[in-house]
A and B are shown apart, each in its own frame.
Chain A
Amino acid sequence: MPLHAYLVLAALVFVIGLFGVLTRRNAVGILLGIELMLNAVNINLVAFSRFRADLAGLIFTLFTIAITVAEVAVGLAIVIVIFRVRRTIEADHLDLLRG
């Protein structure tokens, strides 16, 4: 399969993740969307790495995965804290930043 196939696939997954982030009301749902987007990035990185015979892409992917894990851990911790304080994880109700 050509590189383009992988890239289009990744783009598709990316915009699906974006759609999730944009539309989900639940904070955990938003996090899931972010996971999808990161995955799309990983696919891109690995595809480029393979097609250009460059190991750096693989290493970046590793790093991305590790950082994603950290992000998920922190994000979920924040969700739990928010939940404790506000009794909800509906993003609609979290508008302390409103001007």
Chain B
Amino acid sequence: MRIGSPELALLVLALPFASFLAIGLIRPLRRRGRPAAAVSILAMAGAFLTAGAMSWQAIPVARGLNPAVLWSWLPADGGPMASVGVWVDGMAMQMCVLVTLVSLLVQVYSWSYLADEPPPSLGRYYAYQSLFAFSMLGLVLSPGFLQMFVFWELVGLRSYLLIGYWYDRPSAAQAAVKAFWITKLGDLGFVAGIVMLWSGTGTFDFWPLFQAAEGGALHVDGLTTIMFLIYLGAVGKSAQFPLHVWLPDAMEGPTPVSALIHAATMVTAGVYMVARAYPLFALVPSVLTLIAWVGAFTALLAATMACVERDIKRVLAYSTVSQLGYMMAANGAGAPEAAFQHLTTHGVFKALLFLGAGIVIHHFHTNDVFRMGGLFGQRPWVGGSFLVATLALAGVIPPGFFSKEAVLAGVLHAHLSVPFLMLLATSFLTAFYMFRVVFLAFFGHAPVHHAHPEPPVAMDAVCRALAVLTLALGLRAAVASHHVEGPAWLPWISLTWAFAGIALAWATYQAGRLDPARLAAAFAPIDFLARRRYFLDDIYGGTYRLLLLGLSRVVGWVDRYVVDGVLNALSAGALRAGDALRRIQTGQPQDYVYGVALGVLLLLVWAQLG
């Protein structure tokens, strides 16, 4: 266990926030676009270097030392009700490095990718980016559930804004709203869970909770419910079945955003949270089992959908959902280290895949993989990078190989055989759908060509850097002789599955030995369902409409007949009463004198009685 310097952690947090403030508040900077981008990139570079330094300088300490530095917040009787601070253990620091690195690369990439945007939009984009990095880092460094929830919501908001970056496109606006609502559905559970946990234990902070949990001293009624509710937050954020439907639609945002948020960082927040709070989850085996099953099922389900998708970004999105399923399954199987390892490696190569896809889209001016081809011959570097990432994702080469093995081993170790088989099937499908994209886009016949712009230098450079990084991570993992605890046959069997997937993709889409239509026919029911996304979107849409329209009808009826009725009755009553009382006013002065005399009489009687 290693602990980093909290000052450096605060600096990592402060840099993107300062950049956001600068861009957000200084109007000319924002309106100009490019300078804002430069500020944001510089701040991000600084944050990355700081995070690196923090990780480098971290000192190993004995287990059982509090890695959190806290400041009290929300004062209340008898000590603060909650505290804020930073939590700098190894996992947080590694995550910081990953987040800042991917953010930095994505921002550099965006510099070229969004070159045609109007400057004010660009400024807005970079302001969002900076605040996103800040929120994500804050989430990572949170020492307690409350702070984590605050940043969690901030991250959700940024995601909404970035998906809806092209808010004048109805589809983008709709996707942003959808992402927001569906993740909020999970967040409801999250917030309910942490509040219940607080009312049971009196603290939001991880450290006392973990100490109590590990010491067996955490006695909270309904802990299972609480942890299940908290897990719901992760279901929404990390796109687990059945709340995964927002992620593919989130691809409406700019490609770099997809790479940053919907692959490398934000969606991993749920996985990170579960891994972080693992000591608590460890107390509730039933929830853990549920997490594992849902994760494995999500992985398989998303993989089948990825196989039939034509849009390259959506293929990658489903692949992300699928890989998140892997991570969650590892969490649920009691191997949070494996989940976290897969999270980091996946973050790197998935970012590479997305950014590579950005270049591909830029090249062909389409998202449809069937209208691409032969890119490898023209852009060997891009093809090479994409291939490296694909192999890593398929678990053929390190680092994906090792992290995936770790996940599978963890699941097997927990005797979750059905989820294990699902994950194994998923690894076959992963190899298949990824190589389907590779063969279709990079090999085969190039479509009729129009002028192909050279990919901008920055985009190319970022992809190469990520490819090198992927290989370096793989090398490091290999050199570190990563020992995966598991049976000896496990690597072989998963490699076999992966190669089988590659071979099937090759036979179908490259060599032409198999007709894709016949392949689809062989799996007709799955194909049918996958193409329609298992009707989940329709179910959600139908439910939404049913509920909303039904509710609107009820509200409308209430408004029309109850609210208006009351108002009408009131006004009619006032009118009628006024009409009746009007008659008292005869206009005859003497009648008024009668009134006065009666009043005097009343006063006299009253005074007599009193």
Contacts and interface: CB of A to CB of B under 8 A. Distances in A.
The answer to whether any beta carbons of A and B sit under 8 Å apart in the complex is yes
Nearest to A21: B593
Interface residues of B, number: 13
A75 B341 CA distance: 104
B586 interface: yes
Given A91-B590, A95-B588, A22 B597 contact: yes
A21 B597 CA distance: 11
A17 to B, nearest CB: 11
A97 B597 contact: no
Interface in B566-591: 581-590
B588 A92 contact: yes
Contact of B589 (A18, A23, A94, A99): A94
A98 B585 contact: yes
Contacts of B581: 99
A40 interface: no
B588 A91 contact: yes
Contacts of B585: 97-99
A91 B597 contact: no
Contacts of B588: 91-92, 94-95, 98
Interface string B315-339: 0000000000000000000000000
Say which size band chain A's interface belongs to: 10 to 19
A97 B587 contact: yes
A59 to B, nearest CB: 26
A18 B597 contact: yes
Contacts of A47: none
B594 interface: yes
Contact of A94 (B582, B587, B593, B597): B587
A30 B587 contact: no
A96 B597 contact: no
Nearest to A27: B589
Contact of B582 (A22, A23, A99): A99
Interface in A2-34: 18, 21-24, 30
A91 B589 contact: yes
B586 A95 contact: yes
Contact of B590 (A30, A96, A98, A99): A30
Nearest to B582: A99
B511 to A, nearest CB: 100
Contacts of A97: 585-587
Interface of A: 18, 21-24, 30, 91-92, 94-99
Given A94-B587, A97-B585, 12 more contacts: A21-B590, A22-B594, A24-B590, A30-B590, A91-B590, A94-B588, A94-B589, A98-B585, A98-B586, A99-B581, A99-B583, A99-B584
